[in-house]
Chain A
Amino acid sequence: MFRFLLSRLALIVPTFFGITVIAFLFPRLLKGDPVLLLSGERGVSPERYAMLNEQFGFDRPLIVQYFDYVWHLLGGDFGTSIATKSPVLHDFFALFPATVELSLFAVTFAVIIGIPAGIIAAVKRGSLFDQGAMGIALAGYSMPIFWWGLLLIVIFSTTLGWTPIDGRIGLRYFFDSVTGFMTIDALISGQRGAFSSAVSHLILPTIVLGTIPLAVIARQTRSAMLEVLSEDYIRTARAKGLPPRRVIGVHALRNALIPVVTTIGLQTGLLLAGAILTEHIFSWPGIGKWMLDSLSQRDYPAVQGGLILIALVVMVVNIIVDVLYGLINPAIRYRS
């Protein structure tokens, strides 16, 4: 297991450097003077320009600049945002909990509906439920989620008035952020109605963000279940008279879920990387919206740092998924 982990970590090193190359080159590939782009200045005196030029090190060879950049990164210096004037790392961790909270809700939503739907569809293969559920799943998989979000807002927020349009909590609630998770902080604050306000703000974004993972999980659970159900040991279990619920719920499900768990993990990684479209539509103050805003405000140091941090999140989650996969799948564990 330890060697398996080591080999996975070894793969990360070149990928990480590739990511830093992209982040390093990004402002240098943009049209315009990188000194002005990175400092956020529009028109400066020659002296100030020379000073900035030296500060960013653009007068030195590109390769030196790159290693300097990586050296700073390894020291935890991800640059300073032009928009907020604070370290990019600080901004990232201030916003990350909002993305984590939304992602966890979305994945939970997708799992709670997707896995049972997939199981029932597989067990009742060819039935009306199977066809209906898989039709809906494919439609969900084909959904332009920015439109889906707008549609839900029009129906449930503006027409029916059931849910708030955007943000994380009602304006009249104010309390200190302890965990960064609005639902938990609302409970801690003890204010009446704060928790339900936070939850009501989460409903639509959760559905929108969870739609595609839900479709993927439902489809995959069904196909994994179908495969397992045709195995000999399932026939044996049935033949020896075990109740169907036990055959499906214990014998089949345990093996069928192995690939599904991997999918859930990979989907979580993608969601944690920032749900740009969902966060944009619901003005959800997370990583995705931050990146989009930084790009449109030309806050390039934030984009640079964000790119690396986001890629790191994806990589770390993927490793965790790999390790989990090894833990739940003995075939992999013993081979390595």
Chain B
Amino acid sequence: MTDATVPPAPTPPRARSPWPARRKAIGEFWFTFRQNRGAVIGLVVFALLILIAVFAPLIAPFGFDQIFYDHFRTPPAWQEGGVPQFLLGTDGIGRDVLSRLIYGARYSLLIGVVVVVLSLLGGVLLGLVAGYFGGKTDIVIMRVMDVILSFPSILLALVLVAILGPSLMNAMIAVAVVLQPHFARLARAAVRVEKSRDYVTSAQVAGASHLRQMFVTILPNIFAPLIVQATLSFSTAVLEAAALGFLGVGAQPPTPEWGAMLAADREFILTDWWLATFPGLAILITVFAVNLVGDGLRDALDPRLKRS
């Protein structure tokens, strides 16, 4: 048995980088996601919106607060009385509707991102702590979440804005507070499932601290439902912030936020259809696109979560 004396071939150093595995996972995810035609369309529309938001100053024919004193409530270009330079008409004080819509994309995306980041951070932190420690900590945190959830979200947001004062930032904070219990509940439920798994026990036995177990061991494994929830919250955030803008307590004039645009020209909407139609359509298209992506993500990332 001379073979035994042959030194074993040196095993190649194990790839420490998780990237190849991750790339494979991303490849699989993309394969599933691509099957969903609606999701791909939603993603394309959403990408276009990002481009519009980023390059707003280059795309928009005029500034969002540029006033044309000769053109109050000019109809869209194709309608009688329309002017070619104002494609979608002008608003109640003579500003180009198209330009304001284009700049408005910036606000809607900003609202979505800020609200999702705030509520995701807050909710996941609370959910992780509640699910990981359990016991009294869990009870206290989850009862507070129950309190938040027992109010209709728009009402609680209105009350918070009444306390903080009407502004876009405060509206975003209010919506984030209202949305974060959903993240907290989701994170808590997922943590409780993961905590009893062997890999967490082994991390614990190996001496990982509470913080390490929570954030390094468990957190990466509960990402899938959180990503789906984040997408859904993005669309809710855009809708709720627009509603607050519409009620006059969100973005303030002359900010071209779509909800606030609807509110500003509300007195004219019965006569001048374009003033109400386009901002609302912009909100609908944005939210619809994000929800299409969310549906696709859910099917691709987490087959256990069902369409509802």
Contacts and interface: CB of A to CB of B under 8 A. Distances in A.
Interface of A: 11, 14-15, 18-19, 21-22, 26, 29-31, 135, 138-139, 141-144, 146-148, 150-151, 153-154, 158, 216, 219-220, 222-223, 227, 263, 270, 273-274, 276-277, 280, 288, 291-292, 295, 303, 307, 310-311, 314-315
Contact of A223 (B146, B290, B307): B307
Contact of B150 (A26, A220, A276, A311): A311
Contact of A138 (B146, B154, B269, B292): B292
Contacts of A314: 150-152
Given A15-B143, A144-B284, A147-B280, A29 B291 contact: no
Given A22-B147, A135-B38, A307-B159, A144 B276 contact: no
A144 B158 contact: no
B199 interface: no
B159 A310 contact: no
Q: Chain A: interface secondary structure?
A: helix
Given A147-B280, A223-B308, 18 more contacts: A15-B143, A18-B144, A26-B162, A30-B162, A138-B288, A142-B239, A142-B284, A144-B239, A146-B242, A147-B262, A150-B280, A151-B280, A222-B307, A280-B247, A291-B155, A292-B158, A303-B162, A310-B151
A220 B159 contact: no
Nearest to A260: B308
B57 to A, nearest CB: 26
Contacts of A135: 38
Interface string B276-299: 110110011001101110010000
Contacts of B152: 270, 273-274, 276, 310, 314
B205 interface: no
B212 to A, nearest CB: 32
The B interface is mostly helix, strand or loop, or mixed, namely helix
B306 A153 contact: no
Interface string B89-118: 000000000000000000000000000000
B154 A276 contact: yes
A307 B156 CA distance: 9
Contacts of A158: 270
25 contacts: A14-B143, A15-B143, A19-B151, A139-B288, A142-B287, A144-B246, A144-B280, A144-B284, A146-B242, A150-B269, A150-B280, A151-B277, A153-B270, A154-B276, A216-B308, A219-B307, A219-B308, A220-B307, A273-B155, A274-B152, A276-B155, A277-B243, A277-B247, A310-B151, A310-B152
Given A295-B159, A307-B151, A143 B307 contact: no
A60 B143 CA distance: 28
B127 interface: no
A303 B280 contact: no
B165 interface: yes
Residue with the highest number of chain B CB atoms closer than 10 Å, among A26, A142, A295: A142
Interface of B: 38, 143-144, 146-147, 150-152, 154-155, 158-159, 162-163, 165, 235, 239, 242-243, 246-247, 259, 262, 266, 269-270, 273, 276-277, 279-280, 283-284, 287-288, 290-292, 295, 306-308
The 10 closest A-B CB pairs, nearest first, are A147-B280, A18-B147, A142-B287, A142-B288, A223-B307, A273-B152, A311-B150, A144-B283, A220-B308, A14-B143
Given A151-B276, A223-B306, A307-B151, A144 B146 contact: no
Contacts of B159: 22, 26, 295, 303, 307
B307 to A, nearest CB: 4
A14 B239 CA distance: 31
Nearest to B149: A314
A307 B239 CA distance: 22
